[in-house]
Amino acid sequence: MSGYQIVVCGSIVPDPLQTLEPVTGPSGPVLKNELMLPAVLDPWAGHALYEAANLAAKTPGSKVWLVSLGPKAKVQQVMMAVGQKVPFELVALDGPAGGFVDAHETAAALADAVKAIPGIDRTKLLVFGGWESASRGAGATLQILGERLEIHDQFQGVDQIAPQADGSLEILERVEGGQHQISVVAGPPALLGWATGNLPEPRNNPQVGMANMRGIMPALQKSKPAKVGTGDLQYLAVTLPKAQRETRVVKNMPTDEIAREIVEWISKD
Q: Which of 29, 28, 36 is nearest to 15 (CA)?
A: 36
Structure confidence at residue 65 (pLDDT): 94
pLDDT digit string, tens, across residues 18-64: 777 777 767 666 777 777 777 888 888 899 999 999 999 999 999 99
CA atoms within 13 A on the CB side of 43: 9
Q: What is the structure's pLDDT at 243?
A: 67
Q: Does position 175 have pLDDT exceeding 60, yes or no?
A: yes
Radius of gyration of the chain (CA): 20
**Structural domains for the chain:** 5-225 (3.40.50.620)
Q: Decide if pLDDT at 228 tops 80.
A: no
Extract the runs of DSSP E, i.e. beta strands, from the chain.
Answer: 5-9, 12-14, 22-25, 28-31, 39-41, 63-70, 89-94, 125-130, 154-163, 169-175, 179-185, 190-194, 224-225
Strands 179-185 and 190-194: unpaired
Confidence of residue 124 (pLDDT cuts 50, 70, 90): very high
The pLDDT tens digits of the residues spanning 139-174 come to: 788 898 899 999 999 999 999 999 999 999 999 998
- Contacts of 255 by beta carbon, 8 Å cutoff, 6+ apart: none
Q: Which of 187, 217, 226 lies closest to 9, judged by CA? A: 226
CB atoms within 10 A of CB 20: 17
- Whether the pLDDT of residue 266 is over 60: the answer is yes
Give the chain's mean pLDDT. 84
**Confidence class of residue 182 from pLDDT cuts 50, 70 and 90?**
very high
pLDDT at 28: 67
CA distance 101 to 233: 9
Pairwise CA distance, residues 92 & 66, whole Å: 8
pLDDT given at position 106: 85
pTM for the model: 0.80
90-107 pLDDT per residue, tens:
998 888 776 677 778 888
What mean pLDDT is predicted for residues 190-199?
Answer: 89
Average pLDDT over residues 255-261: 90
Residue 195 has pLDDT above 80, yes or no: yes
